């Protein structure tokens, strides 16, 4: 049975930004992650090892998002998609990455990039 694991509003701080000034100070980011896969086995077994562990997912995305600096949200999304796809190749992955209060005229709440990648392994 196909299911979707969703984590919303994962927060982290990092020095990502297009300008040198942005990269000199910590900025706040939020991330929504959706992984869709056949999780019928975990529905029957009720065992954590048979599913996508959302705690491990959260730890992975925060680690990837904070281990180095990116100029573009698109580049960070690519790194996140790669890391998630490597760990859970059976899952379709969707991300929404938000930079909160970006330094833009008009004072937007956030800037965001939506990105997705299909499963790397064929589903049964």
Q: Over the stretch 106-122, which tens digit does the pLDDT of each residue have?
A: 999 999 999 999 998 76
CATH code of the domain in which 55 resides? 3.30.1130.10
* Residue range 28-76, pLDDT digits in tens: 999 999 999 999 999 999 999 999 999 999 999 999 999 999 999 999 9
Q: Is residue 50 part of a domain?
A: yes
pTM tops 0.95? no
For residue 75, give every residue at least 6 positions away whose Cβ sits within 8 Å of its Cβ, in sequence order, or none. Answer: none
Number of domains in the chain: 1
Tens-digit pLDDT profile for residues 24-34: 999 999 999 99
| Structural element, H or E, at residue 78 | helix 73-87
Domain boundaries, position 57: 2-117
Residue 122, in any domain of the structure: no
């Amino acid at each position: 049975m196909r299911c979707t694991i969703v984590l919303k509003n994962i927060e982290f701080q990092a020095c990502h930004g297009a300008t040198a000034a942005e990269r000199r100070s910590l900025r706040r980011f939020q991330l929504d992650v959706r992984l869709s896969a056949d999780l019928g086995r975990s529905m029957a077994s009720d065992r954590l090892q048979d599913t996508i562990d959302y705690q491990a997912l959260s730890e992975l995305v925060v680690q990837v998002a904070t281990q180095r600096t990116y100029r573009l949200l698109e580049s960070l999304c690519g790194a996140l998609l790669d890391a998630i796809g490597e760990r859970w190749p059976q899952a379709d992955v969707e991300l929404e990455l938000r930079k909160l209060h970006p330094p833009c005229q008009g004072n937007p709440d956030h800037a965001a990039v939506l990105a997705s990648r299909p499963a790397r392994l064929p589903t049964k």
